[in-house]
Amino acid sequence: MSEPIDVLHVDDDPSVLDLSEAFFERELDAVAMTTVTDPETALERLETETFDCVVSDYDMPGMDGLALFEAFCETGCSTPFVLYTGKGTEAIASEALNAGVTGYFQKGGPDQLRRLANRVAQAAEDHRTQVIADRYSTVIDALGYPVYVVDEDGTFEFVNEAFADLTGYDREEIIGSPPGVIKDDEAVRESEDRLGSVLSSSGPDVQRFSVEITPKEGDPIPCRDHMAALPYEGEYFDGSVGILRDVSDERDRREELEAKTRELTRQNERLEEFASIVSHDLRNPLNVAQGRVELARADADDTENLDAALDAIDRMESIIDHTLMLAREGETVGDPEPVTLADVAADSWETVDTASASLAVETDQAVMADPARLRNLFENLLRNAVEHADGPVSIRVGDLDDGFYVADDGPGIESGIADSIFDPGQSGTAGNTGFGLAIVQEIATAHGWTVDATDAEDGGARFEVRGVEPATAEMTA
């Protein structure tokens, strides 16, 4: 051992103390001997000083070696205690070992003193190792980290209570089991590869990697594993030790941050769209209004130019209203409720100028949605079908496996706008603001749905809304 071993030797015979000190200094690399001739003095020294081992005679005046050991134990000290006595019997040896002494030796010649010195050195080293282990164990327990030890055969040799709490197993269920009890095959292979890297001559001392722990019940738990090899005893691998750290909260925060980043990016893109709409789509009607008013100033009876200016202003107002609506519909739906598609479609039909169009609702499906925003979605799809038809148009609302559709038998989707049909301001009809389908897409996205435009079976347009959560009977009750 690199540090001196501090030994307290108690014996009423000073010559025995001198001889043992001489042997200890010769046999051990570094030793510091403290010798006392009576047990009471030994107890006093033990109260104020720290030793790596205590060696005591058995037959001493006033207090024998076992009585000294019992008094020593009452102090709560765990320092190794070795009896070295000239009055040795099997009964005393049995009583001493049953009491918990570290070792028992009969006094003898040089060979016996050599054995005593070696036993003291081993006991002191074991004690120091245990003190360090207890100290680190206290730190680890205070931190609450799950700790494991896997032996050289690949089975759990030790896990602490935090590890058991993480996995949902009792410690007794895990100890003796292979790591596959809490990991899938891929995770086991990765751990083995990581350990192989640690054991290689060029590898790191510690491997840190992500792993999913499969608990006894519930979903896999994302963790970080900090793995190292146990110190070798001789030339052979003796197992590995690791500390797990549950990173579920970190992953949730990261996913939340990513979601917020995506939403912020989406909002910025939408703001750019709105800026483009305001700068481009409003410029034309504004220029028209300004020009018409200028012409009307020259002739007090010129109502035609004033009417045209009012039309341009109405168009600007419509563009502004739709732009604001588009911004509002981009907000995520927070608390959907059960709604019946047939009822929402019928209500929407009542608020749209349907001219000579007809509606057939072929669904009795109930879904989870924001009623007002779903109604706005239907209004825009119905209005889109009516406004793009040259004459009477038939509109159908029906079910999909994971949503619903709105189809018509009108002229269908113009090839020139098929790829940009949901873009704000895009319209194939003169005088139309082109915001209706953009609003439909925003409402769908806010619900977590998708909307796609395709050709209907009878040549018209068909809009399919998918990813819709159905409402259960209990929800609608």
* Domain finish residue from 265, 300, 329: 329
As for how many domains the chain has, the answer is: 4
CATH assignment of the domain containing 15:
3.40.50.2300
| Confidence at residue 433, expressed as pLDDT on a 0 to 100 scale | 47
**191 located within any domain:** yes
> Tokens representing 357?
């169009």
pLDDT for 430? 43
The answer to whether position 251 is within a domain reads no
User: What pLDDT does residue 321 have?
Assistant: 64
pLDDT in tens, 242-285: 999 998 888 778 888 888 888 777 777 766 665 555 555 556 56
DSSP 180-223: GGTS-HHHHHHHHHHHHHHHSTTS-SEEEEEEEE--SSSS-EEE
Query: For the ranges 274-278, 377-381, 429-433, which has the lowest average pLDDT?
Result: 429-433
Domain check: are 131 and 159 in the same one?
A: no
| Same-domain pairing of 79 and 168 | no
Answer yes or no: do 235 and 265 share one domain: no
Four-residue CA torsion sign, 176, 182, 188, 194: negative
Q: Which domain holds residue 453?
A: 335-477
At residue 452 the predicted structure's pLDDT band, cuts being 50, 70 and 90, is very high
Q: Can you say whether residue 335 is alpha, beta or left, with left for phi > 0 and alpha for psi between -120 and 50 degrees?
A: beta
> Tens digit of pLDDT for each residue in 98-145?
888 999 998 888 999 999 999 999 999 888 878 877 777 776 777 778
- As beta bridge partners, residue 360 has 396
CA-CA-CA-CA dihedral for 155, 161, 164, 170, to nearest 10: 90
Q: What is the CATH number of the domain that holds 171?
A: 3.30.450.20
pTM of the shown model: 0.40
Residue 1 pLDDT more than 50? Answer: no
Q: Which of the four pLDDT bands, split at 50, 70 and 90, describes residue 293?
A: confident
